[in-house]
Amino acid sequence: MITTMILGMSLRLMPAGGHDAMSSASRLASLALPPTSWLSVPLSVDLAVLSQSLEDAMPRVLESGPDWTLVDEGRVGIRYRAWRTPFALSFQDGTLRLSTRVDYEAEGCVVRRRALFGGTSCAPEADSSRGAPRKQVHVAGTTRLDWTPDWHLTARTSFQFGHPERSRVTFLAHDATTHVDAALALALDRAAAALDERLREVLGARRVAEQLWRAASEPIPLGASLWLRLTPTELRVTAPREDGPAVRTSLELRLRPSLASGPEPWVAPQKMPSLQVGSPNEGFHLTLEKHLSFAEASRLVEARLPSRFVLPNLEVEVHGAELSGDPSGARLKLQVRLLSGLPNPIDVTLWLKGRPRYDPDTRLLALEDLDYTVETSSTAVKRLDQGRHAGMLVHLRQRLRWPVGEQVDGLRARLETALGASLFAKEPLLTGTLQILQPRDVSLTRTGFRVVLEATGAVVEKPNRLSHPKE
């Protein structure tokens, strides 16, 4: 399948007797290293989920209870009731920001001793601003996210209070706001702990990193003794960032993929590297390499060439095809027998040259501007070629076309299935889709052809109870 695509793309053919000089641009394109390959796995949590964690951990109403709480060395009693608005969350500059507002009322009493009957009494005195709007506490919080060297997420949430106006009760002007603040601080500590735990659970990279590194290190079967080796070389995590209504980070594997034929290749286990932080990429991009020897390419070309060409008053029988070359160029040598047009059959050698071109509309691989020369000492053959050259070219151009669309689709389906059964099967909350598979480049080595294919796709999270809000 892959080798079929190489046939047309690889034929940077030269005429017999020497090598045409390749342009500098073509030479550089062939010798250039393929771009970096990566697999980027998203880890995200919806801000609504984080907000719900706070709401579940902190009541909307805080109150001291019906009894007086004695303060100020037992001289003053206070009571309060506070109402909290829903939390608002946003993510800015790498920091999760939280806010809410607390409206509260407070009342106090002054403890007095009864002179006649003994004991004490505490008649309530309203807030000095009775009838005025409730006092407010503005609550602002931040959550700092970071990773430890062993890939564990750290989340630290803290809150600060702002008071447009404090509440003072009784003629002693006791500050009741400090008691509201103390109750708020305890409740917010519990909410912060719940939020930090949820963030560590959803965005923690250690478990997913281990699974991906292990899965990417193992050969992936593509069928018919063909194996995909991803060969991870680096593993990094991206800084948290805002993505619409969610906080997102990504785990990214840097890969050195290749295709191998034959029995399953042995791979030495590699230890997962220490944490690195890098810039984000999306989805996956694989640059796949496959080597095809000249001998194998010759057999494939020979198998796909017709055994006989029949032209008006000329019949040509193909006896053999041979590809050869070096890093500077390739040559296709055809051994043919002319069965008609001459007094007797005669064997000649044809040398072909042309530029490979893939037509995405017809999905055909062909040799553009195909031409050939005849290697022979026979004057009769040379004269025959002069009269039949144009017709022979038309016939060769029609024959030397390879429909590779179905083969590309088949390889794409096999590759997508293999990735799903290996990489993404290890992490049930992820799914991957292969979107594009296309030839990128073919270059020559001293022993054959090096073909480069590009595969790009998307990796998405499946909905789950931790990363998405409840309906």
Report percent pLDDT > 70 for the chain. Answer: 83
- 357: closest CA among 396, 313, 307, 402? 402
Is residue 394 within 8 A of residue 372, CB to CB? The reply is no
User: For 130-140, what is each residue's pLDDT tens digit?
Assistant: 556 899 999 99
Distance of CA 46 to the CA centre of its chain: 19
pLDDT of 75: 87
Once rounded to an integer, what is the mean pLDDT over residues 263-272? Answer: 85
Work out the number of other CB atoms within 10 angstroms of the CB of residue 71: 17
Contacts of 224 (CB under 8 A, 6+ apart): none
For residues 436 and 384, what is the distance between their CA atoms, to the nearest angstrom? 47
- 326: pLDDT confidence band, cut at 50, 70 and 90? low
Strands 241-243 and 226-229: unpaired
For residues 360 and 257, what is the distance between their CA atoms, to the nearest angstrom? 25
Q: Between the CA of residue 31 and those of 34, 126, 293, 459, what are the distances in Å? A: 9, 86, 17, 31
- What H or E segment, with its residue span, contains residue 53? helix 47-57
Is residue 234 within 8 A of residue 253, CB to CB? The reply is yes
Tokens 């290890």 label which residue? 426
pLDDT of 318: 81
**For residue 44, what are its two tokens?**
């995200």
pLDDT of 428: 67
For residues 258 and 262, what is the distance between their CA atoms, to the nearest angstrom? 13
Report residue 265: phi and psi, to 5°: -70, 145
Instruction: Give CB contacts under 8 A, 24+ apart, made by 384-390.
Output: 384/314, 384/338, 384/341, 384/342, 388/311, 388/314, 388/341
User: For 31-79, what is each residue's pLDDT tens digit?
Assistant: 344 468 999 888 888 999 999 999 999 999 999 988 888 988 888 999 9
User: For 170-228, what is each residue's pLDDT tens digit?
Assistant: 888 899 999 999 999 999 999 999 999 999 888 888 888 888 888 888 888 887 788 88
Is residue 443 within 8 A of residue 449, CB to CB? The reply is yes
- 449: pLDDT confidence band, cut at 50, 70 and 90? confident
- 3-state class (DSSP) for residue 303: helix
- What H or E segment, with its residue span, contains residue 413? helix 405-422
- Res 310 pLDDT > 90: no
Which range among 20-29, 185-194, 453-462 has the greatest average pLDDT?
185-194
